Amino acid sequence: MPDPIPHIPVAVVGAGQAGLSISYHLKARGIEHLVFEKHRALHVWRDRRWDSFCLVTPNWQCDLPGYPYRGGDPHGFMVKEEILEYLGGFASAVDAPLREGVAVERVSPRPEGGFDVQTSEGACRADAVVAASGGYHEPIVPRLAERLPKSIVQLHSEQYRNPQSLPAGAVLVVGAGQSGAQIAEDLHLAGRRVLLAVGGAPRCARFYRGRDVVAWLADMGYYDMPVERHPLREGVRDNTNHYVTGRGGGRDIDLRKFALEGMELYGALKDFDGEKLHFERNLRACLDDADRTYNGINGSIDKYIAEAGIDAPPPSVYAPVWTPEVERGSLALERSGVSAILWCIGFRPDFRWLDAATFNGAGQPKHARGVSDCDGVYFLGLPWLHTWGSGRFSAVGRDALHLADRIEQRLRATSRVSRELRAAG
């Protein structure tokens, strides 16, 4: 009797830029597949970004498969509406075999090979599975948030939309990575009183010696460096992104300048005792470390320019425009005027749906450029999957091409073995 459970060669989980990129390359090879998305395609870009969100990398780096940026501002930075238009055009061009509104609940290896795929709309079987949902799944909110007064509005960065959506009063932003620094700026420019708990995030210049820093680093080969050649090796995957912005044509984010303009800076938030928030007294060290990275990146550009004999504007070194005189270690919450807290401290991965022995103790997948050590399981769209751009528009397509080649090879080998077994039988 025929097997009543449908079979598909490849199940792709997630319909963001990663899932659509692998679909593009699988379609080009004539490999049958389905792309499952529990929300809508490109859901994260539509529903988990604030209103003033913009790219921090220039538009010319947007190079999705068969759909490079073709607009009239290659050195600009697309804002949210433009990003959605670009991605919508890419999705239409790919025309992936989508199953929107269908959640993949469990993927389990079969003893004879392949996988059982349980979804919210039934089961199927697949020869290979591509986890293309990225690595930013569960918003991180510390347990101390549970002890804060109910009168305080608490949002994660993915829930923030604009300054007007928050209640009147001061806003405490916790975390100064890319999202935290940009959201703090958004509130600051709107005239809100902002308190910012700064952590160990690095920063970089937007423009240096006449060009966008991204352009210099591209010429220097940084964006083509594979993870195994990075000084930190796989440890770079845990690094916080440098804070900088593409807002208003692109500029630096200088927290010291914000402090001069009235933003209140604290060290890392560590506890709440029922009355006071307590902070590490490490603000000065965090600011100094961020500036050291800033100047270090510029220094590497200086070296490249000198060695290549490039004619460029003269070098410079950032000098602090503000230094904290006192490290404030606590804040009486009730008297502070804080009405809202924004948690901008990142996400953790959630691959609990994938029953595969290919995760480390932190729940991160073990893989080599997306090829896991569990036969038939692949990952795509993760930060530093292979290079800096693996989780971005610039290089996710290259990683998808690599995985499509590996999947095609595996399917051919599996098909050949099956034919040989049937012939022998």
- What is the distance between the alpha carbons of residues 174 and 197, in angstroms, rounded to a whole number? 5
pTM of the model: 0.94
Q: How many CB atoms lie within 10 A of CB 410?
A: 18
Does 291 lie in the same domain as 181? yes
The CA dihedral of 298, 301, 306, 307, to the nearest 10 degrees, is: 150
Please give the structure tokens belonging to residue 119: 């979804």
* CA separation, residue 323 to residues 43, 189, 266, 288 (Å): 41, 21, 12, 9
Q: Are residues 124 and 22 in the same domain?
A: yes
| N-term to C-term CA, the chain | 19
Same domain as 328, residue 387 = no
Query: In which element (H, E) is residue 135 found?
Result: none
Read off the tokens for 384: 């530093």
In a domain, 418, yes or no: yes
Q: Which of 316, 343, 370 is the last residue of a domain?
A: 343
Residues 300 and 357 in one domain: no
Encode pLDDT of 347-397 as tens digits: 988 999 999 989 988 788 999 999 999 999 999 999 999 999 999 999 999
Same domain (yes/no): 109, 218: no
Please tell me the distance from the alpha carbon of residue 131 to that of residue 120, in angstroms, as a whole number: 17
Task: Yes or no: say if 61 and 77 are a contact pair by the CB < 8 Å rule.
Answer: no
Measure the CA angle with vertex 127, ends 122 and 132; round to 5°: 75
Among 373, 398, 362, 375, CA closest to 135: 362
Closest CA to 404 of 94, 145, 151: 94
Render each residue's pLDDT in the chain as its tens digit; 425 residues: 345 679 999 999 999 999 999 999 999 999 999 999 999 999 999 999 999 999 999 999 999 999 999 999 999 999 999 999 999 999 999 999 999 999 999 999 999 899 999 999 999 999 999 999 988 889 999 999 999 999 999 999 999 999 999 999 999 999 999 999 999 999 999 999 999 999 999 999 999 999 999 999 999 999 999 999 888 888 777 778 899 999 999 999 999 999 999 999 999 999 999 999 999 999 999 999 999 999 999 999 999 999 999 999 999 999 999 999 989 999 999 999 999 999 999 998 899 999 998 998 878 899 999 999 999 999 999 999 999 999 999 999 999 999 999 999 999 988 655 544 455 55
The domain boundary, picked from 320, 343, 366, lies at 343
Does residue 239 share a domain with residue 225?
yes
Assign residue 389 the CATH number of its domain.
Answer: 3.50.50.60
User: Do 159 and 204 belong to one domain?
Assistant: yes
Residue 2: inside a domain, yes or no?
no
Would 224 be classed as within a structural domain?
A: yes
| DSSP 3-state of 75 | coil
What is the rounded CA–CA span in Å between residue 139 and residue 158? 8
Both 206 and 271 in one domain: the answer is: yes
Residue 1 resides in a domain: no
Same domain, 192 and 214: yes
Domain with 302, as residue range(s), is 139-343
Here the tokens at position 349 are 């991965």
How many independent structural domains does the chain possess? 2
Same domain, yes or no: 129 and 174: no
> Is 193 in the same domain as 305?
yes
SS3 229: helix
Q: How far apart are CA 162 and CA 165, in angstroms?
A: 6
Supply φ then ψ for residue 422, to 5 degrees.
-65, -40
Is there a domain that residue 400 lies in?
yes
- Together in a domain, 120 and 158: no
Output the CA torsion sign for 223, 224, 225, 227.
positive
Domain boundary among 343, 358, 378: 343
